[in-house]
Structure 1
Amino acid sequence: MPTAEDRARADAARAALDRLIAAAPPPDMDGARAAFEALVALRDGLVARRRADGPSPALDAELARANAAAALAWSGAMPVAGFRPGRLEKARAMLDGGGG
């Protein structure tokens, strides 16, 4: 079960991705960095909780979604191709538990 801290980190990551998705292409680097940092904070918090509490199917699924969202949103984005709105939207949906 997600903790209040996990939910706050996930909400921050969703909000940062929402801002990046809404930005006129190409998104500014400050917004991109904020979204990436929010996803990393979510992932790091989940990793810390897993190390402290041990594995659980629900926690492992949350961690897998956070990792997948980060990879989907940023793989190949810099500096080669830039951000792809469809990938950002799928990454955002992953944080809600959807597969995109």
Structure 2
Amino acid sequence: MLADTPEPPYYAVIFTSLMGDDSSGYAAMADKMLTLARARPGFLGVESAREGIGITVSYWSDLDAIRAWKRDIDHREAQRLGRERWYAAYRTRIARVERDYSFEDQGD
């Protein structure tokens, strides 16, 4: 499902990753992080795909909301486990969204 974001500007956190050999507990933690992120002030939505490379884009109202999420104690634990157990490599990028347009086939 595509995230229903507001009119720009807003911010996108683009997290790309390659999984390592041990994925035990990963799916449960990913679900927990999504639940927690959705409850955070400033969270706007998320889109995610995984096939070979994982790409998750979360959308936020401002940089302060992103900083607060990065410092969240449960999120910090997930980050630690990601580095120690789940990921062979990852990269995080933060971008300001200036334009947003879409197409939806209404099936008429």
TM-score tier, shorter chain, comes to: 0.3 to 0.5
Structure with the higher fraction of residues in strand conformation = 2
TM-score, structure 2 as length reference: 0.32
Structure with the higher fraction of residues in helix conformation = 1
TM-score, structure 1 as length reference: 0.34
